[in-house]
Amino acid sequence: MSGPEYVFDTKHDRYPLAVHVFLIQQGNVLLMRRAGSGYADGRLGLPAGHVDLGETPTASAVREIVEELGITVDPDRLTPAGTMFRRSLEPRVDIFFTATDWTGTPQIREPHKCTDLVWADPNDLPADALDFIAQAWTDAQNGQILREYGFTPVSR
């Protein structure tokens, strides 16, 4: 391809794009206790991260899992599990995946960002799990591909 790889349209808002992965083992999901980011520190979240410029969501999920947990997930083994347009400190778009097999044993690789790993029943998450995770899990189980979360519902 010749010319610039990306041309940015500055007339429209941009939303941060993040990926989250439900790593499932023996019916439980792996949660990570957040630390040091200034957002939801002390709460449990999924392995997750922002999609970098020029990166696909799948490649981002694979990269984040290696960086955060030191395990390798084959991109072909990541199953799309839904999308959430979520109101947070700023509106964001979250893409969820599930994975049930990987290479390696999860361990904390970024202690400045994560202080604890917790295996939990995804249908009965700990009270200190981020609030949108339960909804994302329910949506994934029910095949709901898009959720608008945290906004005032629009009548249809």
pTM reported for the whole predicted model: 0.90
Q: Is the pLDDT of residue 66 over 70?
A: yes
List pLDDT tens digits, range 129-139.
999 999 999 99
Query: What's at 53, amino acid-wise?
Result: L
pLDDT for 87: 86
Query: Residue 43 in contact with residue 80, Cβ under 8 Å?
Result: no
CATH number belonging to the domain at 17-149, selected among 3.90.79.10, 3.40.50.2000, 3.90.1150.10, 3.20.20.70: 3.90.79.10
Burial 86-103 (b: 16+ CB within 10 A, else e): beeeeebebbbbbbeebe
Burial of 76 (0-12, 13-18, 19+ CB in 10 A): exposed
What is the domain partition of the chain in residue ranges?
Answer: 17-149
Query: Residue 129 in contact with residue 119, Cβ under 8 Å?
Result: no
List pLDDT tens digits, range 71-106.
999 999 999 999 999 988 777 899 999 999 999 999
Per DSSP, what are the bridge partners of residue 22? Answer: 98
Rounded CA-CA distance 139/133 in Å is: 10
